[in-house]
Amino acid sequence: MQIAIVEDDPQTRSLLKALLDTEPSFCVVMDSDSMEHFLWDARHVDHLDLVLLDIELPGMNGIRGASMVRDRWPEADIVMLTVYENWDYIFKALQAGASGYLLKSSPLDQIVQSLHLLREGGAAMTPQIAMKLVKYFHPDSAQPSESDLTDRQKEVVAAILDGLSYKEIADRLCVSLGTVHSHIKRIYRKLNVHSKGDIYRLGEQLLS
* C-alpha distances in Å from residue 8, one per residue of 14, 37, 49, 143, 178: 10, 11, 21, 38, 59
Q: Indicate whether 81 and 31 sit together in one domain.
A: yes
25-36 residue pLDDT tens? 999 999 999 999
Q: Which residues pair with 31 in a beta bridge?
A: 5
C-beta of residue 93 within 8 angstroms of C-beta of residue 104: no
Task: Please state the domain count of the chain.
Answer: 2
Name the burial class of residue 166, with classes exposed (0-12), middle (13-18) and buried (19+) by CB atoms within 10 angstroms of its CB.
middle
CATH of the domain at 51: 3.40.50.2300
Domain span at 178: 146-206
State pLDDT tens for residues 121-175.
777 887 777 776 766 665 555 455 545 788 898 888 888 888 888 899 999 999 9
pTM of the model: 0.64
CATH number reported for the structural domain that contains residue 195 in this entry:
1.10.10.10
Query: Residue type at 98?
Result: A
